Structure 1
Amino acid sequence: MSRHSTRLGGPPPSFETPPAPAERRSVSQDPAYRSLRRAHRRFGARATAAAVGGFLLYVLLSSFVPGLMNRTVGGHLTVGLALGLGQFVLMAVIVWRYLVHMRTRITPAARGLRGLVRQQEEAAARERAATAPRVAPRAAEFRPW
């Protein structure tokens, strides 16, 4: 490494060490974190089941009951075409419910956990600063290119 890449011969820039595994485990063991993950998984499973179920119903009806799917609803609109367009409506409802779910249940819990993690990181940084050896700042070095 050249002198110039280490800021004129000084020590290389310091990088903060990631939190210790014990700190990460404490957050993952928190009941709020577990309920957050459970709520997120539960909604994901329900939304996936609704989307796949709606599509599977459409495919099965079009395969096994073509007489029903070809029945005219009005004008040139058939039951099959209406159900096909209903897939877009179903996806829009699922996306809307996802946004509502995230805004009302997931985001508040995530903010609370983020504050908890921030407090733990600040406490760990204070602890590291208290145990770190004190080093006097280096005098400014002026070197020619």
Structure 2
Amino acid sequence: MGNDALNAENAMPTADFAAVRESEQFRTLKRAHRRFVFPVAIGCLVWYIVYVLLADYAHVFMSTPVIGSVNIGLVLGLAQIATTFIVTTWYVSYANRRLDPIATEIRDSVEIADTVAR
């Protein structure tokens, strides 16, 4: 490889990221992301705090047997773990449907602009 090839490969991108950040597409992407993430994060946090408070202050309730020696506390604790996987799967599905198409459009427009600028 000659020096020209190395310079072309290592060239800094010329995309105007400030303009991308101010574009309507990027604002739409941020709005769609926040519309999902903030309510779900708040819901998960509330669910976790309720679990912790129940474990700390509702000993009788949490030690109520469900099946054999499995009690409500154990069931709710396992539900905390299940919630993590459910929310992760839900977010991936949401991102694939709503966020990724917008992000792809933004990326493609930046790459085209970068290619044209070179």
Q: TM-score, normalised by structure 2?
A: 0.84
Moved segments of 4+, more than 6 Å: none
Residue from 31, 36, 53 that aligns with 1:43:
36
Residue 17 of structure 1 deviates from its aligned partner by 3.6
Residue 26 of structure 1 deviates from its aligned partner by 2.1
Give unmatched runs, 5+ long, in structure 1: 1-6, 126-145
Residue 98 of structure 1 deviates from its aligned partner by 0.9
Residue 109 of structure 1 deviates from its aligned partner by 0.6
More helix by share: 2
Residue 119 of structure 1 deviates from its aligned partner by 1.6
The reply on whether 1:60 has 2:46 as its aligned counterpart is: no
Q: 1:87 maps to what in 2? A: 80
Write the letter of the residue equivalent to 1:61. Answer: L
Q: 1:18 maps to what in 2? A: 13
Q: Which has the larger radius of gyration?
A: 1
Write the letter of the residue equivalent to 1:67. Answer: V
Separation in 1, partners of 2:52, 2:19: 47
Separation in 1, partners of 2:95, 2:47: 23
Separation in 1, partners of 2:36, 2:81: 19
Write the letter of the residue equivalent to 2:48. Answer: F
Q: 2:102 maps to what in 1? A: 109
Q: 1:118 maps to what in 2? A: 111
Greater relative contact order (Cα < 8 A, sep 6+): 2
Q: 1:133 maps to what in 2? A: none
Separation in 1, partners of 2:84, 2:21: 32
CA deviations over 1:6-42 (Å, ceiling 9, x no partner): x7xx89x53424316xx22221121111111122233
Write the letter of the residue equivalent to 2:31. Answer: R
The reply on whether 1:99 has 2:64 as its aligned counterpart is: no
Say if 2:63 and 2:72, in contact at 8 Å, map to a contact too: yes
Give unmatched runs, 5+ long, in structure 2: none
Q: TM-score, normalised by structure 1?
A: 0.70
RMSD: 2.0
Work out the percentage of aligned pairs sharing the same amino acid: 27
